[in-house]
Amino acid sequence: MHGPFNRMGRRKPMNEINVVPFIDVMLVLLVIFMITAPMLTQGVQVDLPQTASEPIEESEDRDPIVVSVDSEGQFFVSLGGDETRVSLDELSQRVLVLLERQPGTQVLVRGDRNVAYGQVVSLMSTLQEAGVANVGLISEPPPGES
């Protein structure tokens, strides 16, 4: 008898593996990740000013505290992705608590290019009152530079 069965009625083991279902699953996962990846970017929409400058050396063991000011003058504090809206009065206390938990953490400011200069100055003054000695300013490189 010819074919996959021998005389005893048993099937021969297959020599090849069918990978078509695996490819189908991988393509579905690829489409799902392509659709959800842009949705994962969270945070305050801030139109950063563009300037050519040297990057700040980041500490690899801890995330910096990022204080953001959006175009409407609202303040946000984030540490490791958790972003919360705060008033200017709460900002000092919140940063102070974060620095007590993790001393030596960098503090960075993201200010929208359309926010009033006075908002950024009052933010910097509030951070100084909270005991932050050095503040980094976040900007984007000009078009054509990376």
Q: Which domains does the chain have, with CATH numbers?
A: 65-138 (3.30.420.270)
Confidence band of 46 (pLDDT split at 50, 70, 90): low
3-state secondary structure of 123: helix
Question: Does position 31 have pLDDT exceeding 90, yes or no?
Answer: yes
Summarize pLDDT for 106-136 with one digit per residue, the tens.
888 888 888 887 888 888 888 888 888 778 8
Q: Which two tokens stand for residue 71?
A: 């175009």
Return the pLDDT at 6: 57
Closest Cα partner for 87 from 69, 71, 102? Answer: 69
* Nearest in space to 71 (alpha carbons), one of 23, 122, 119, 125: 119
Within 10 angstroms of residue 91's Cβ, the number of other Cβ atoms is: 20
Q: What would the pLDDT profile of 47-104 be if each residue is shown by its tens digit? A: 556 666 566 565 556 778 888 888 888 888 887 777 888 888 888 888 888 888 888 7
**Is residue 34 over pLDDT 70?**
yes
Beta bridge partners of 111: 69
Instruction: Output the six-digit token pair for 27.
Output: 């393509």
Residue in this structure with the two tokens 């972003």, named with its chain if needed: 83
